[in-house]
Structure 1
Amino acid sequence: MKHYYFTFILLMFSAAMFSQEDAWVYFKDKPSSQSFLDKPSDMLSTRSLTRRTNQNIALDQIDVPVEKSYLNQIKSSAGITILAKSKWLNALHITGTQANVSALKSLAFVDKVVFANKTLNITAKIISENRTVETQNKLKTTIDYAYGNAASQIQMLNGQILHKQNYTGEGKVIAVLDAGFPGVNTAQPFQNLQTNNRILGGYDFVNRNANFYTGDDHGTLVLSTMGGYKENALVGTAPDASYYLFITENDASENPIEESLWVEAAEKADSLGVDIITTSLGYFSFDKAGESHTYSDMNGSTTFISRGAEIAFSRGIIVVASAGNEGRTAEPHIGAPADAVSVIAVGSVTSAKVKSDFSSVGPSFDNRIKPDVMAQGTAAAVSNASGTIGTSNGTSFSCPIMAGMIACLWQAFPEKTNKEIRKMILESSDRYTAPNYNYGYGIPNFGSTLGTETFNSSSEIFSVYPNPALTQVSFLFSDKLDTASVSIYSILGQKLIEKQITSQNPVLSLQSLKSGLYFYTFDAESLHKTGKIIKQ
């Protein structure tokens, strides 16, 4: 019996010694920095450099690639396999036995080694939390095969105001980081993107190949809320934006490598010059319990992915992330990278603007407001890989709906920085003065960002845009009213313009007016409004 007992212990010890462990190895420096900084085009595309210039963001060592000689030494180390690399965090994601990984600490250029299994980090502070968290399969969504109508998810944000001004995302580039994009190259709702060459490229980081029209169709559903276009069925929030499609999520498992692949894809997106990264992915629990995060990690600066997302923002990119679908679970808080300080974390509401019960809540562990904003994620209109229009539920969809509208807003204000655009979005939200941990700052009003006066309830729709105006102004009102009379007055009360307009032709010319402040009256059968107009 003693012999068998000894053998059993030996086998357990051997398994522990030879099992493969994920880890990050961080380097102390980048010896070749200056040579890269002297030739920035070796690191970044012209479009990426232009984005930096427009936002007065200087190049620095973060932009410099990982030292090649360091990479080669790690690669040649006994029992070590490199799975991903990050220039932003100056680190490699590796796998190997605990002994082989630990041996890397002796290399002079290695700053530290951090195991994904937190129990193996001897100096780490272990926080015990009395909660159980099941690994959530965040990508499994059901699609109801019914007529999809995207009107409510756009009008809730007053996105139609931007669209009517031809701000539909043209000229802006969005990177979608997800689990796969089958059907995007063949399904009818994506034909508009394909015909107009708005799919700029992509990559499958999970399988390390260039075929990104594969994998789980979660990414397909996500893209459809922004770039989909099928008249009278589905119109995305940014149908004229351009897109890169990156697969970083392996739907078959939940492992820390996915965070590293996400950061690697974000770095690629940065180098290509994207304006916005949208990701309907979130990380909290992993298949191996020792590797899972805890709520205390959701402080914006602990997880690998959230640190990468924050660096992306520092490079001039707007990062939009799903808040998560854990609102009904024992651990309802937002995951990573939604916890990052500058990431716009998007929660979900119904078409009636009521928080979806599945939508994850805040605050971040360090008590910041999260989620940041809300959009429709219950019964959101989507297209699947075969082109069938239906509805689906999840912050996976409120997130890209928001990202598409952000692209349209940034198109309208191309001179703004990512920080200024983010500020505009938050300040336009309906709970900005009284945010909470369920709704964040609330539902943004993209119509108000154009300086429009917008009223939108169950009984009336009315807006005046653009305001200030250069040569003309438009009045948006319900087609049920058909016609209306509009008058423009000077500040002294003198009537200067009077005109009949229709809901189909609601434009009023201001060519005859000098620059300055004016007042208007709007009179229709059941709708009477007054307000100010500024002529530039």
Structure 2
Amino acid sequence: MKILLAFLLQAFLFSLAGKAQLNRYIIQFTNKAGTSFSLSTPGDYLSPKALERRSRQQVAIDSTDLPVVAAYLDSVRLSGAVTILNASKWLNQVAIQTTDSVALQKIAGFQFVKSSQPIAPRSSSAQPSDKFAEPNLPLNTQEEIPQTELANIYNYGQSYGQVHLHQGEFLHNHGFSGQGMHLAVIDAGFPGYVTMPAFDSARINNRFTDTWDFVTNQSNVNGANNHGTICLSTIAANIPGTFVGTAPQATFNLYRSEDAASEYPIEEHFMSAALERADSVGSDLASISLGYYHFDNPSFNYSYANMNGNTTISASAADLAARKGMLVVVANGNEGTNSWHYLITPADADSVLAVGAVNTSGIVANFSSYGPSSDGQVKPGVAAVGWQATGFQDAGAPRTYNGTSLACPNMAGLATCLWQAFPEENNMGIISALQQSATKASAPDDRMGYGIPDMKKAFAILLKRFYTQQIQQAGCNTILKWSAKTSANISYIVERKLPTDVDFVSIYTSTGTGNFHADNFSYTDDLSSLPTPISIDYRIKVNLDTDTSFYFTPVTIQHQNVCASYTFIGDGDWNNAANWGAGVVPPAVLPAGSSIIIDTQAGGECVLN
């Protein structure tokens, strides 16, 4: 029966292949039985940094992490005139190139082969003129271009507007420019990145650490289409006074998965392989300014119903990357003015941050693809500058570009810096902080999603998410203890509100020191002079660079202790009222919170009896 099914499948495949000259195929396997790798020794296939990220986020190693079984690949390769292109361990499949019909029939008959599908013709050297064409928008002459603030640590030049829209300079000014964070950029090539002055800082400091071209299977990505160079520049470029990217101190892994000469689903397979490599070498984030819905062969075209986060190769791979702990940032698409209208995959994946486009005034670009996904997810997740965005495509001056392709890396860089500040948070927690900080957080829509994130607000959200506090009464005192991150730019102000106060009153300030770090704080509020019983409200205000709009959770205590104070002023008998202030002798059993002060006369003595 299996032979018959394989024959029928083969007949169909070759009918299709003969029509469209498809000679690249995806072979999917049923299992990973007999693998030489073990879940107990993940260091054999994951780098120490990848394992550290998994451990920090408590992400378990599972069978999808195991490489594709080598014996399966050998069997496929030895079936005839077959070239192995690359494998995807997460999807348990391999891309091959062949015109050998006998080999294909043999492969389809293997017990460990789940399916064999044609996916693309031979790669072409032709370069279509419009695959990455910019959406045609008129210059927005009403847009107000913000001026660089001299107090910032970076002189942003032409990139200031796209950083400042999100208060991204707040993160940079606090020392978070991406240091120690690894960001994978997956695109169509990066010509010029090894020579362009915009990338001198990253090159000199060896912050391009891993590269691979999954289209041609080589390590050199210094070629092909400059779309990747432009996207990379919005994050990594660093020419003070001219242009500074959103994460100029990050470390970068560059991968080419896009064949700009054609549009076929095999590029989604390449993207999956690129994400797997990014994960394996320890990338924290991935920026993907690519997307799919229509192909050169219409038989592969997706429908809007397919944009449900679970159907396409690229959406499946993006969600798996997120499951491994990576923060995946994806362009939402530029189809807002055409008949497709909606987002494109993998922006539909449910665990990615899809990014729409606005200008530096926060106005949504008409080309930015609409949400939601077909299964009702809010899409895009957020919006960033992609209309008249600035970047580099060569060694010349910065230029302006249009597309969610620019919005995506702009946001990816800022997300990198935010995560640098709060490595204790996981990838989905960073996404939620960005969305909660955005301009439409309370009423997301299908154009900008949750809106334009504010990095200072997102920072405060995470600061509050990881603080702890304990406020309780002890006798005639309120003891406040809290643990939170601080630095020389952050102070905490204890505020109190009594029944007689119109508003909260500051009663104590603790100013941080040094670099951003976790610390413990405490303050004791003396209540002995206050009447009882009363309700007292406390709250801790967070002062971020003189911005005092952020608060920790307020607490109300019920002050009921009689905080009487008895002062012994005499010389002799404890029970003699004349020896006590105001003639008041303390009771035999003191009320909670009461105190006795012994103030003997000079040369006298206190006789306790």
Verify: 1:84 aligned to 2:89, yes or no: no
| Distance across 1 between alignment mates of 2:403 and 2:186 | 16
Q: Output the CA distance in 2 between the equivalents of 1:140 and 1:379.
A: 14
Deviation at 1:341, TM superposition (A): 0.7
**Residue among 317, 320, 343 paired with 2:326:** 317
Residue in 1 aligned with 2:535?
A: none
SS of the equivalent of 1:426 reads helix
One of 46, 49, 58 as aligned partner of 1:47: 49
Tell me: higher relative CO, structure 1 or 2? Use CA pairs within 8 A at least 6 residues apart: 1
Is the 8 Å Cα contact of residues 484 and 520 (structure 2) preserved in structure 1?
no
* Structure 1 position 105 matched with structure 2 position 108: yes
CA distance change for structure 1 residues 190 and 115 in 2, over 3 Å: closer, same or farther? same
Provide the C-alpha distance between the structure 2 equivalents of 1:512 and 1:108, rounded to a whole number of angstroms.
64
Read off the aligned partner of 2:48 and give its amino acid letter: T
**Structure 1 residues 277 and 440, CA gap change in structure 2 (3 angstroms):** same
406-415 or 426-435, which deviates more: 426-435
**In the alignment, which of 316, 335, 338 is matched to residue 347 of structure 2?**
338
Partner of 2:302: 293
**Correspondent of 1:362 among 351, 355, 371:** 371
Find the aligned partners of 2:391 and 2:429 in 1 and give their Cα distance: 30
| Offset from partner CA, 1:287-324 (integer Å, 9 cap, x none) | 11112222222111111111111111111101111111
Task: Name the CA shift for 1:471/1:36 in 2 (closer, same or farther; >3 Å).
Answer: closer
CA contact (8 A) 1:148 1:381 kept: no
Helix, strand or coil: the match of 1:381? strand
CA distance in 2, matches of 1:73, 1:109: 10
- Report what 2:496 is aligned to: 491
Change beyond 3 A, Cα 1:436–1:69: same
Are residues 320 and 137 of structure 1, via their aligned partners in 2, closer, same or farther at CA, if it must alter by over 3 Å?
Answer: farther
Q: Aligned partners of 2:188, 2:362: CA distance in 1, in Å?
A: 28
Range with bigger deviation, 285-294 or 19-28: 19-28
Task: Look up the equivalent residue of 1:108 and give its one-letter code.
Answer: Q
- CA 1:72–1:157: 2 relative to 1, 3 Å: same
- Give CA deviations for 1:72-101 in whole Å, capped at 9, x if unaligned: 111122454433311101111234459554
Asked whether the equivalents of residues 82 and 100 of structure 2 are also in contact (C-alpha less than 8 Å), the reply is no
How far apart, CA to CA, are the structure 1 residues paired with 2:355 and 2:333?
A: 8
The Cα of 1:469 is off from its aligned counterpart by: 6.3
1:224 maps to 233
Q: Pick the aligned partner of 1:209 from 202, 213, 218.
A: 218
Match of 1:272 in 2: 281
Q: Aligned with 1:300: secondary structure?
A: coil
Is residue 439 of structure 1 aligned with residue 448 of structure 2? yes
Q: Which residue does 1:26 correspond to in 2?
A: 28
**Alpha-carbon deviations, 1:482-522, whole Å to 9, x = none?**
xxxxx9785263676899xxxxxxxxxx9999498566999
| C-alpha separation in 2, matches of 1:182 and 1:241 | 20
TM-score between both structures, scaled by the size of structure 1: 0.79
Q: Deviations over 1:93-115 (max 9, x none)?
A: 23445955455332111122334
Inter-partner Cα distance in structure 2 for 1:18 and 1:488: 70
Taking a change above 3 Å as real, the CA distance of residues 155 and 70 of structure 1, as seen in their structure-2 partners, is same
Which of the pair has more CA radius of gyration?
2
Q: 1:139 aligns with which of 126, 132, 141?
A: 132
Q: Secondary structure at the match of 1:37?
A: coil
Closer, same or farther in 2 for the Cα pair 1:511/1:148, shift >3 Å? same
Q: Which amino acid aligns with 2:368?
A: S
Equivalent residue of 1:50, what SS?
Answer: helix
Q: Is the 8 A contact 1:18 1:97 kept in 2?
A: no
Determine if contact 1:33/1:61 at 8 Å carries over to the other structure.
Answer: no
Query: Take 2:437 and 2:50, find their aligned partners in 1: how far apart are those partners?
Result: 28
Q: Which amino acid aligns with 1:250?
A: D
Q: Matched residues in 1 for 2:225 and 2:219: separation?
A: 16
Deviation at 1:201, TM superposition (A): 2.5
1:187 CA drift (Å):
1.4
Q: 1:357 to 1:70 in 2, by over 3 A?
A: same
Going from structure 1 to structure 2, the CA distance change for 1:299 and 1:532 (only over 3 Å counts) comes to closer
Superposed CA RMSD in Å reads 3.5
* Equivalent runs, 1:63-78 vs 2, <5 Å: 63-78=65-80
CA contact (8 A) 1:489 1:520 kept: no
Paired amino acid for 1:61: S
Structure 2 unaligned spans of 5+: 1-13, 121-127, 140-155, 463-482, 498-504, 512-518, 525-537, 554-609
Q: Which amino acid aligns with 2:223?
A: T
The Cα shift of 1:358 comes to 0.9
Alpha-carbon distance change, 98 to 308 in structure 1, aligned in 2, over 3 angstroms: farther
How far off its partner does 1:24 sit? 2.0
* Distance (whole Å) between structure 1 residues aligned to residue 184 and residue 453 of structure 2: 22
Report the residue type matching 2:132 in the other structure. Answer: L
Aligned length: 467
Distance 1:14 1:496 in 2: 76
Letter in 1 for 2:424: E
Give secondary structure in 1 for the equivalent of 2:435: helix
Distance 1:136 1:364, change over 3 A: farther
Conserved? CA contact 1:284–1:336, under 8 Å: yes
SS at match of 2:171: helix
- C-alpha distance in 1 between matches for 2:549 and 2:180: 33
Q: Deviations over 1:439-462 (max 9, x none)?
A: 111111111122289xxxxxxxxx
Task: Work out which of the residue numbers 246, 249, 252 in structure 1 matches 2:255.
Answer: 246
**Unpaired runs of at least 5, structure 1:** 1-11, 118-134, 454-466, 476-486, 500-509, 523-527
Q: Is the CA contact (8 Å cut-off) linking 1:468 and 1:533 kept in structure 2?
A: no
| Greater displacement, 94-103 / 252-261 | 94-103
Task: Give, in whole Å, the separation in 2 of the partners of 1:431 and 1:403.
Answer: 19
* Structure 1 residue 181: Cα displacement: 1.1
Structure 1 residues 148 and 160 mapped into 2: Cα distance closer, same or farther (>3 Å)?
Answer: closer
Check conservation: 1:306, 1:336, Cα contact below 8 A: yes
The correspondence of residues 448-487 of structure 1 with structure 2, limited to 5 A, is 448-451=457-460, 470=486, 472-473=488-489
Aligned match of 1:352: 361
- Aligned residue in 1 for 2:119: 116
CA 1:188–1:311: 2 relative to 1, 3 Å: same
Contact 1:171 1:242 in 2 (8 A): yes
How far off its partner does 1:193 sit? Answer: 0.9
CA distance in 2 between counterparts of 1:511 and 1:473 reads 16
* Separation (CA, whole Å) in 2 of partners of 1:25 and 1:520: 56
User: d(CA) in 1 for partners of 2:510 and 2:34?
Assistant: 69
Aligned-partner Cα distance in 1 for 2:223–2:271: 17
CA shift in 2, pair 1:327/1:148, >3 Å: farther
Quote the Cα distance in structure 1 between the aligned partners of 2:168 and 2:234. 13
TM-score scaled by length of structure 2: 0.70
Q: Structure 2: how far apart are the matches of 1:179 and 1:494?
A: 56
Q: Using a 3 Å threshold, how does the CA distance of structure 1 residues 520 and 229 change in structure 2: closer, same or farther?
A: closer
